[in-house]
Structure 1
């Protein structure tokens, strides 16, 4: 190796022999393909998903049925506007038919007496029975 004195410069050249017409391709939009088999079975068993709530209204103290109690049905916890109203019959029974599945609350009112049942979960096609004590 040749020694260079401090303060002096030496030129150096390097020659590369590459083909400048060489084409390089890079795929900037890679694609990935996944295959999944999904099997769907349709059984024409039940097409009506309407729900029904039946029940009875009782006096909390005497345990006797209450005739003419107003029964109000609400979506979820919201008790500002009922989605259904009915009145208990002579035996204290009530029935609410053709409702969509979901979460409901019931308020029963008779005179000054009032009772609330929170958050009933009604599944598609389910017939639920609820006892209300006021």
Structure 2
């Protein structure tokens, strides 16, 4: 028994009706203003905060000026390792330059003679004069 079954075919079409000529205006303009003011001052002057210690070396009760005296400079109260050293010149004068501000201890040695340790305070840009008596 064969039955005729009708096959139903149906076309289904969907039309997308969109007007391609339509004008679309979208106003998307995010605006963000970041304002920063920077004041920059350029100064070519070098600020030199280093100080210096100058002085003269004397020997004996007659206060005879001596040259070639070893000058040792220690930072703070330490006397283990000198941070600077120099020798007095022919006129007994010496100078230790470009020292950062702070407290120092100075000692002079000449042969077997040696001065007691003397404390010195150096301020920024200051020149300190120190006479050393052996």
TM range (shorter): 0.5 to 0.7
| Unmatched segments (≥5 aa) in structure 2 | 1-42
SS at match of 2:124: coil
Q: State how far apart, in whole Å, the 2-side matches of 1:122 and 1:60 are.
A: 28
Task: Identify the residue that residue 83 of structure 1 maps to in structure 2.
Answer: 83
Normalising by structure 2, report the TM-score. Answer: 0.64
| Unmatched segments (≥5 aa) in structure 1 | 1-43
Normalising by structure 1, report the TM-score. Answer: 0.64
Q: Count residues in correspondence.
A: 91
SS at match of 2:67: coil
Task: Identify the residue that residue 97 of structure 1 maps to in structure 2.
Answer: 97
Cα deviation per residue 1:6-34 (whole Å; 9 max; x = unaligned)? xxxxxxxxxxxxxxxxxxxxxxxxxxxxx
Task: Identify the residue that residue 59 of structure 2 maps to in structure 1.
Answer: 59
Structure with higher Rg: it is 2
**What is the RMSD of the two structures over their aligned residues, measured on CA atoms?**
1.5
Q: State how far apart, in whole Å, the 2-side matches of 1:118 and 1:78 are.
A: 12
Cα deviation per residue 1:93-132 (whole Å; 9 max; x = unaligned)? 0011111000001010000100034321110000110000
